[in-house]
Amino acid sequence: MNSNNPTVGSDTKTEDRKAILVVGAIALVLILLGLLAFGIISMKNNKGPFDPERSRRTQSKPVRILEKEAVVKMTDKGFEPQTIIVKKGTTFTFSNESSSDFDLEFLSQVKIFEGKIPKGAKAYAQVKIPAGTYNYFNRANSAQTGAIIVEE
């Protein structure tokens, strides 16, 4: 036995510490790889706040608004009507009739209206934009989507 040599015990402690660090590093790498794999799978299944494929599956039939004023209701289930067709110059009212606030965002550079609409409140906008389709969604619940189709 070599009990007079103090370096024998410290070498064992150093090796134990190295082993623990190696095992910890391996565990960390495995956890990170798992999170990365889960993130990639999740990203493939979730196409962001506006998934055109999901929107096509859930879109109701477009409603043509012939008047100069259109009302889009925000309910706990989403926007009603979900898609509207209007003429250029139509005035919009977004009416929040849900039990929570809506946070409206348009997915185009042209913003008809954007921002928070508290429950029970209304927001107004007039469409003086080029003909086209303008998709929007509720930032508070990205499954709630809608579209405004503007015709000449």
Q: Model pTM?
A: 0.59
Q: How confident is the model over 36-84, as pLDDT tens digits?
A: 665 544 444 444 444 545 444 455 688 887 778 889 999 999 999 999 9
Q: Which residue range(s) make up the domain with 133?
A: 52-151
Say yes or no to pLDDT of 108 above 60: yes
Are 22 and 75 in the same domain?
A: no
Task: Give the pair of three-digit tokens for residue 123.
Answer: 């927001």
98 band by pLDDT with thresholds 50, 70 and 90: very high
If asked whether residues 75 and 127 sit together in one domain, one would say yes
Give me the pLDDT at residue 43, please.
44
Are 69 and 128 within one domain? Answer: yes
The enclosing domain of 69 has a CATH number of 2.60.40.420
Q: Is the pLDDT of residue 117 over 60?
A: yes
Three-state SS sequence of 79-147? EECCEEEEECCCEEEEEECCCCCEEEEECCCCCCCCEEECCCCEEEEECCCCCEEEEEEECCEEEEEEE
Together in a domain, 27 and 63: no
Q: How many domains does the chain have?
A: 2
3-state secondary structure of 152: coil
- What pLDDT is attached to residue 8? 54
